[in-house]
Structure 1
Amino acid sequence: MKLLYVCDEDEKELSRQDAPGACPRCGGKVEAVDCSHKWKFCFVPVCNMVKRRYVCTLCSKRLVILYS
């Protein structure tokens, strides 16, 4: 008996926008990137999520916002 586990994740960039602030590492400009994530299990769509990420344009570091 064989068990075949097929799972796939697709990531697609939707848009880029300028964000306020500067990178703490290099002082470069920050961009907000909206990404769509689609998870599939055996070619059946399971989940579709849209996330916003912040990225520095100079050093390409992914920035994390900490809420206090």
Structure 2
Amino acid sequence: MVFFCFLVDQKRKVSNSKPAAGICSRCGGGASVADMKTATRFCYVPFYWKSWRAILCTFCGSILKSYR
């Protein structure tokens, strides 16, 4: 009998943020510029990391713009 384990997920983490001018187009909340880190895991073992910058809504948490 053969079992395959194909469990892949991504975790996003905000490492640093500061307020930015502007409002969210979805909820009207404030905006902030954040340094993000994304870790992609395969079967609970991280194998890829990426750092990038994004503009986030401080109320609903949606990504308004990303700079990769």
Q: TM-score interval w.r.t. the shorter chain?
A: 0.5 to 0.7
Find the counterpart in structure 1 of residue 3 from structure 2: 2
Find the counterpart in structure 1 of residue 51 from structure 2: 50
CA RMSD of aligned residues (A): 2.6
Find the counterpart in structure 1 of residue 23 from structure 2: 23
TM-score by length of 2: 0.60
* Structure with higher strand content: 2
* Structure 2 unaligned residues grouped into runs of 5+: none
* Paired letter, 1:40: R
Q: Deviations over 1:3-57 (max 9, x none)?
A: 22132322222011122x312633x542112221111223433110112221233
Rg larger in 1 or in 2? 1
Work out the CA distance in 2 between the residues paired with 1:42 and 1:31: 33
TM-score by length of 1: 0.60
